[in-house]
Amino acid sequence: MKLSFRWYGENDPVKIGYIRQIPSMYSIVTAIYDVPVGEVWSQESIMKLKEKVEQAGLKFDVIESVPVHEDIKLGLPSRQQYIDNYKENIRRLAKAGVKVICYNFMPVFDWTRTQLDKELPDGSTALVYYKDQLNRMDPLNGELSLPGWDSSYSKDQLAEIFEKYKAVDEEKLWGNLEYFLKEIIPVAQECDVLMAIHPDDPPYPIFGLPRIITNEKNIDRFLELVDSKYNGLTFCTGSLGSAHFNDIVAMVDKYSAMRRIHFMHIRNVKLLEDGSFEESAHYSPCGSLDIVEIVKVLYKNNFDGYVRPDHGRMIWGETGRPGYGLYDRALGAMYLTGIWETLEKTNKK
Ligand code: DNO
């Protein structure tokens, strides 16, 4: 496994030099953040970013994300221009040596939580998703915003997009995804860049919008749409693991054995009885997922892709981008490294 860490660039309160100090850190995961979704990234800005990462002694191997324009997900006639731009971004990133591109196909909203600063009994704060809070939320009142979103919309724009989605049910969304993949995967193959879709978080429809990268059956269908290693997965344990119906260890085992996982997001979640969940520390006893078992199956299948500790809590008084502080993610990184080292040493004997 290649340990990596998400960095939001120069504006990230977490300095890249601090990330470098985490033992066994290999690669940065980042993106160009000042270009509107759907537009082409300049080669110059890509090269500058690469330089910054490499100056810090880390690899510039993984991009998260090249976001997919809403018109592509909606299947509008205007999608062609955005798909052409997407292909150009793949080519330009390949020129800079990028190996994996993460993206998602969630309508309108990326990952969604109902509270970003829930205080846990130990005084740390975490991101949570409480069903009763969700039921009281109105996505159209303009109050909903998350730090991880690639786009932000005005109230009116959001209402307009919701209106357009009335014509897109799950099957239409599948069709639009297939169209997109059949266009971009040949380019990814030509450039030798592995595409890695991120699952929907949480893995079921919200606010009446369809979501399809949600469970084993659908991921099987996704992988068959274009049966190529270039059409792969970002397997996010916390996203898929926030619903009781997903057996995370079995899924990681299956897809890593198929060599279709290129990027792992590893974090833990604590599932509550009513289907709500709280993000927790990575350490298995803190949540509902068994992180040791997850890493074990990756090891067993000789996983050599990228792994990043995903969201962390805010601990030790740190402030910053919810989910993306330094301290708890660094603890997660060392926990994962410790498990991997133990597996390597025990299996050598
Ligand atoms: C959440 C992230 C996601 C992810 C996108 C990929 O913290 O894992 O926002 O970056 O869904 O496109």
- Active-site amino acid positions: 198, 236, 265, 310-311, 324
Question: What are the residue ranges spanned by the domains of the chain?
Answer: 2-348
Output the residue whose Cα is nearest ligand 1's atom 4.
Answer: 198
Output the residue whose Cα is nearest ligand 1's atom 7.
Answer: 148
Calculate the average pLDDT of the chain.
95
- Average pLDDT of span 218-247: 98
Q: Residue 31 above 80 pLDDT?
A: yes
Q: Quick one: 288 exposed, middle or buried, by C-beta within 10 A (0-12, 13-18, 19+)?
A: middle
Contact 23, 63 (CB under 8 A): no
- Average pLDDT of span 256-262: 98
For ligand 1, the distance from its centroid to the CA atom of residue 150, given in whole angstroms, is 9
Q: Which amino acids bring their CB within 6 angstroms of ligand 1? A: 64-65, 102-104, 110-111, 148, 198, 236, 265, 311, 323
| Per-residue pLDDT band at 156 (split at 50, 70, 90) | confident
For ligand 1, the distance from its centroid to the CA atom of residue 275, given in whole angstroms, is 21
Contact 218, 205 (CB under 8 A): no
For ligand 1, the distance from its centroid to the CA atom of residue 148, given in whole angstroms, is 7
| Lowest mean pLDDT across 8-17, 108-117, 149-158, 183-192 | 149-158
User: Nearest-CA neighbor of 99 among 240, 34, 2, 21?
Assistant: 2
For ligand 1, the distance from its centroid to the CA atom of residue 341, given in whole angstroms, is 27
Compute the distance between CA of residue 102 and CA of residue 307 in angstroms, rounded to an integer.
Answer: 12
| Per-residue pLDDT band at 155 (split at 50, 70, 90) | confident
Residue 323 alpha carbon, nearest atom of ligand 1: 7
Q: What is the pLDDT of residue 349?
A: 61
Give 2-348's CATH code, choosing from 3.30.930.10, 3.40.1350.10, 3.20.20.150, 3.40.50.1010: 3.20.20.150
Compute the distance between CA of residue 250 and CA of residue 256 in angstroms, rounded to an integer.
Answer: 10
Task: From 68, 150, 197, 198, give the residue whose CB has the most ligand 1 atoms within 8 Å, as the site to mutate.
Answer: 198
Q: What is the pLDDT of residue 148?
A: 62
Q: What is the pLDDT of residue 150?
A: 63
Q: Tell me the per-residue pLDDT of 276-327, one tens digit each, with 9 for 90 and over.
A: 999 999 999 999 999 999 999 999 999 999 999 999 999 999 999 999 999 9
Residue 311 alpha carbon, nearest atom of ligand 1: 7
Q: Residue 27 above 70 pLDDT?
A: yes
Residue 64 alpha carbon, nearest atom of ligand 1: 10
Contact 74, 165 (CB under 8 A): yes
Output the residue whose Cα is nearest ligand 1's atom 6.
Answer: 103
Per residue, the 3-state secondary structure of 238-289, as one string, reads HHHCCCCCCCHHHHHHHHHHCCCEEEEEECEEEECCCCCEEEECCCHHHCCC
Q: Residue 152 above 80 pLDDT?
A: no
Residue 239 alpha carbon, nearest atom of ligand 1: 8
Residues of the chain above pLDDT 90, percent: 90
Q: What is the pLDDT of residue 146?
A: 67
Q: What is the pLDDT of residue 330?
A: 98
For ligand 1, the distance from its centroid to the CA atom of residue 346, given in whole angstroms, is 34
Compute the distance between CA of residue 199 and CA of residue 193 in angstroms, rounded to an integer.
Answer: 19
- Average pLDDT of span 199-209: 95
Q: What is the pLDDT of residue 63?
A: 98
Q: Residue 151 above 80 pLDDT?
A: no
For ligand 1, the distance from its centroid to the CA atom of residue 349, given in whole angstroms, is 38
Output the residue whose Cα is nearest ligand 1's atom 11.
Answer: 104
Q: What is the pLDDT of residue 145?
A: 63
Contact 15, 35 (CB under 8 A): no
Report, in angstroms and rounded to the nearest whole number, the Rg of the chain calculated over CA atoms.
Answer: 19
- Average pLDDT of span 81-102: 98
Structure tokens at 141: 């009142």
Residue 67 alpha carbon, nearest atom of ligand 1: 12
Strand 268-271 to 277-280 pairing: antiparallel
Q: Residue 237 above 70 pLDDT?
A: yes
